A and B are shown apart, each in its own frame.
Chain A
Amino acid sequence: MIRHAFLVCLMFAASLAPAARAAELPSLAEAAGRYAISSGSIIAFRVDQVGGGGIRGRFGKFSGTFNLKAGDLAHSTVNFDLKPESVSTGQDRVDAFLRSGAVFDSGHFDTISFRSDRVEQTGQDSARITGTLTAKGRSASESFDVKLTAWSGRRIAFNVSGRIFRSRYAMDVGTPIYSNVVQFDMTIEGRRG
């Protein structure tokens, strides 16, 4: 029973007021299952530039699934693919540059993928997911911080943030004018599949 209560709190506390949080907590048994990442998710990123400001953008085409395992959160899995040609920064010339061989080379590498290796709980409603990110033909281990933001039975949502070094994927054009670090700030919404 104690173990069950612990699992309930693992990463599924709603980001509401603390008093309301306990009432919103789904049990892992409730939340367990396979989810498809919905198109309502937001894959946003930012690259800072010297002197302030930077490039902000989103990816419009992506897909993925995650599987929350009751009683075995560490072996929960996340698979995520995005299409780099769907990048959008509000500036066509920047988009074209990002799609070119200088950055994504989306003509040759049409998918950026993430496959989780492990999930660690970091708080009552947060976790850290570590996995393999593959982009432009190069793979590296990356971690993302995950925080539960919404839960409503069939729908679950997380804020996912992470810092990725562009140089690991041969995308570090423009440094040091533009930071080597891409900061992801994503809203991942899952619907039960």
Chain B
Amino acid sequence: MRRPVHRFDLLTIILHWLIAILILGLIALGVVMTRPSIDPVLQFSLFQWHKSLGMLALLFAVVRFVYSVIWVRVRPVGGMKPFEHLLAKITHGILLALTILVPLAGWLIASVSPLEIPTFAFNLIVVPHLPVPKSDAAEIWWVTAHAVLAYSTLALVFLHSSASLYHHYWRRDDVLTRMLNRERRLIEPSAKEPTS
């Protein structure tokens, strides 16, 4: 069912940017809400926003993962060497996996915590805890795992976006523009076509 194409479809593009915004917002929220000096009322509220948005990110990431597996396959832009394409594929694969694993680790924190604070997404839907044993030790472990995975994601997002800017401004190819649903020549008619 996967069809190789040159352009991303609109759903892939929308999911990509929504997940990107959510990831950056969630990491910022995660940093702020865990500051030791934070007001406890604000902290509780930010934790609940973090959990709600994290569940939304997980939902989008799962949809995107399934959609990418069964439907989307984009040809590499012209001019990319095989090892560059392989590196990009590996990075994209890890990023895609992390977009699922990070919120899943967060869900596990809520699930293993002896505090048993419900996840009431956007004060609308109770997301049940995963069926796992509860303990302080397991909570500490998953908090660490969640943070390590989240900061690894941030590092890869930095690498990923740097690469896209490199392609856009240095190689002048369509790597970035096709994720913006635009042809490069539409925004920069004088750009030279990359050689393949």
Interface residues, chain A, with chain B CB atoms under 8 Å away: 49-51, 53, 91, 93-94, 97, 100-102, 173-174, 176-177
> For A94, what are the chain B residues with a Cβ–Cβ distance below 8 Å?
115
Asked whether B41 lies within 8 Å of A177 as measured between CB atoms, the reply is no
> For A176, what are the chain B residues with a Cβ–Cβ distance below 8 Å?
120, 123
> For B115, what are the chain A residues with a Cβ–Cβ distance below 8 Å?
91, 93-94
Say whether B128 faces chain A, with CB atoms less than 8 Å apart: yes
> For A177, what are the chain B residues with a Cβ–Cβ distance below 8 Å?
48, 117-118, 120, 123
Asked whether B118 lies within 8 Å of A102 as measured between CB atoms, the reply is no
With both chains docked as a complex, state the minimum distance between the C-beta of B127 and any C-beta of chain A, in angstroms.
9
Q: Which of B48, B114, B118 contacts A51 (CB 8 A)?
A: B118
Count chain A CB atoms within 10 A of each CB in B40, B48, B114, B128 and give the residue with the most. B40
Say whether B44 faces chain A, with CB atoms less than 8 Å apart: yes
Asked whether B120 lies within 8 Å of A50 as measured between CB atoms, the reply is yes
With both chains docked as a complex, state the minimum distance between the C-beta of B3 and any C-beta of chain A, in angstroms.
43
Say whether B9 faces chain A, with CB atoms less than 8 Å apart: no
Interface residues, chain B, with chain A CB atoms under 8 Å away: 39-41, 44, 48, 114-118, 120, 123, 126, 128
With both chains docked as a complex, state the minimum distance between the C-beta of A15 and any C-beta of chain B, in angstroms.
34
- Closest B-chain residue to A175, C-beta based? B123
Top 10 nearest A-B pairs (CB, nearest first) are A102-B40, A51-B126, A102-B41, A100-B40, A51-B118, A177-B120, A173-B41, A50-B120, A50-B118, A49-B118
Looking at chain B's contact residues, the main secondary structure is loop
Other A-B contacts than A173-B44, A177-B48, 16 sampled, CB-CB below 8 A, are A49-B116, A51-B118, A51-B120, A51-B128, A53-B116, A93-B115, A97-B40, A97-B44, A100-B40, A102-B40, A102-B41, A102-B44, A173-B40, A173-B41, A176-B123, A177-B120
Q: Give the complex CA separation of A97 and B44 in angstroms.
A: 10
Asked whether B39 lies within 8 Å of A101 as measured between CB atoms, the reply is yes
With both chains docked as a complex, state the minimum distance between the C-beta of B98 and any C-beta of chain A, in angstroms.
28
> For B128, what are the chain A residues with a Cβ–Cβ distance below 8 Å?
51
- Closest A-chain residue to B129, C-beta based? A51
With both chains docked as a complex, state the minimum distance between the C-beta of B191 and any C-beta of chain A, in angstroms.
53
> For A49, what are the chain B residues with a Cβ–Cβ distance below 8 Å?
116-118
With both chains docked as a complex, state the minimum distance between the C-beta of B106 and any C-beta of chain A, in angstroms.
16
> For A97, what are the chain B residues with a Cβ–Cβ distance below 8 Å?
40, 44
Asked whether B123 lies within 8 Å of A101 as measured between CB atoms, the reply is no
With contact pairs A50-B120, A50-B126, A91-B115 given, residues A174 and B44 touching in the complex (Cβ less than 8 Å): yes
Q: 7 interchain pairs (CB within 8 A)?
A: A50-B120, A91-B114, A101-B41, A102-B40, A173-B41, A177-B48, A177-B123
Q: Give the complex CA separation of A117 and B161 in angstroms.
A: 68
Q: Give the complex CA separation of A91 and B134 in angstroms.
A: 13
Q: Give the complex CA separation of A149 and B41 in angstroms.
A: 39
With both chains docked as a complex, state the minimum distance between the C-beta of A27 and any C-beta of chain B, in angstroms.
49
